[in-house]
Structure 1
Amino acid sequence: MNRVERGRAAKRLATDEHAAVHRVAALLLDYPDEELVAQLPAIHEVVSGMSARFRDPLTRLVSHLARVDVREAAAHYVATFDHRKRCCLFLTYYAHGDTRNRGVALVTFKQAYRAAGVELAQDELPDHLCVVLEFAATTDRVEGIRLLLAHRAGLELLRIALLEARSPYADALVAVCGTLPPLEGDELEAVARLAADGPPEEEVGLDPYSIPQHQGA
């Protein structure tokens, strides 16, 4: 899918329900803390009004986070997203790894945000999935979905990796990927190739864009 095709698809997919899915997923995929736990009843209420294909997986994740101790949830989050390369929440990592090419890809995200009047905090990388989903849900639906489509292979690998790890967070990716068109042709090949080869190996390094680690619970 080229840029023009992604733009057309994004316009078709920029629905209210998809925006709600992206907003909820952005919250649920963030580092779990007491603030998130306090929001779970309100999130559950939003999820309960969605179509079954989104409601069911997101309800499972909400229920899980409401049930487990927040320290246990935080430990699982770190073990999943910080210690598993195939469960990285930074979308450009899948296409570029920790190479200098990733810096160019990050600029694309920053330009999209600035065009919509959004400036990120200094310590916030623009390709973090929660940031992209929040942008798609609350600022620019079409451009946000276009960014997701541009990194579809990485999203799908993340979904597959979380399912294989039997992580409850897989349900958030199932819902997010459900807002996008079915994979076909070159996209299927890209996912298979990425699953087989993984992200590019480090070349010279990209210290300014290294993936931050969470500091435990």
Structure 2
Amino acid sequence: MTTLNEHQLRTAHFVASVLLSYPDHALDEARPLLTEAVATLPYGEVRRRLAAFLRHLDVTLPAALAAHYVAMFDVERRCSPYLTYYAYGETRERGAALLRFKHALRAGGFELADGELPDHVAVVCELSGRGAVKQAVRLLQESRAGLELLRTALEEEGSPYTDVVAAVTATLPPASARHRETALRLVTSGPPAGEVGLEPFAGTGDDR
């Protein structure tokens, strides 16, 4: 784990939020700023991982990156960027978990765009980048098992997005025994199956 102060956490999470959103023209425009921001971080896991992904952008055509993003995050269910999916699947319990995320975002002064789900890892990282670091870190740590599963799934797929998720993980306190046990259980059993409970959250938020 790289020890970062609050300003550095905001910087790292802001960069991650941009990189974990759908790679459109805005990403191309932001790349110089992102590179400068990463260069201000102390040497360590977070900086190394984010810099590695930025180097990948330098040698990857935008269309190829967009296709890979869709293949990983929209098609490959085990690489879901929605953090409550791993623990709750498409059940009514997930609806309650999403409400907790939504309330935390509102408390941090962050209003979601229409159709956007509050548990997308890019949304939570953006919350930190906007200044609500404590709220964002709490949400990420509460979803640590899912975050670890996402990182592992991306790594097994050979995706460069592994570096970005690993950078986010490296900003958090070490995983507890409970987080590790939960992750192991979810690897074995997968997300729960049941009646969909996302009525308050129409839309998929796939434009992240």
Q: Could you state the TM-score of these two structures normalised by the residue count of structure 1?
A: 0.87
Which residues of 2 match residues 97-136 of structure 1 at below 5 A? 97-136=89-128
Aligned residue for 1:19? 10
Q: Deviations over 1:28-52 (max 9, x none)?
A: 0110112101211111111122223
1:212 matches 2:204: yes
Aligned residue for 2:88? 96
- In 2, Cα distance between equivalents of 1:17 and 1:92: 26
Q: Deviations over 1:156-211 (max 9, x none)?
A: 0001111111100000011100011222321111111111111111x222353477
- In 2, Cα distance between equivalents of 1:162 and 1:84: 10
Aligned residue for 2:187? 195
Q: 1:66 to 1:38 in 2, by over 3 A?
A: farther
Which residues of 2 match residues 57-68 of structure 1 at below 5 A? 57-68=49-60
Aligned residue for 1:162? 154
2:177 to 160, 167, 185: 185
Aligned residue for 2:29? 38
Q: Percent identity?
A: 42
Deviation of 1:214 after TM superposition, in Å, equals 4.9
Deviation of 1:138 after TM superposition, in Å, equals 1.3
Q: 1:167 to 1:159 in 2, by over 3 A?
A: same
Deviation of 1:116 after TM superposition, in Å, equals 2.6
For structure 2, list consecutive stretches of 5 or more residues without a partner in the other structure.
none
Deviation of 1:136 after TM superposition, in Å, equals 1.5
Structure 2 counterpart of 1:16, one-letter code:
H
Q: RMSD of the alignment, in Å?
A: 1.9
Structure 2 counterpart of 1:152, one-letter code:
R
Q: Could you state the TM-score of these two structures normalised by the residue count of structure 2?
A: 0.90
Question: 1:14–1:142: 8 Å Cα contact kept in structure 2?
Answer: no
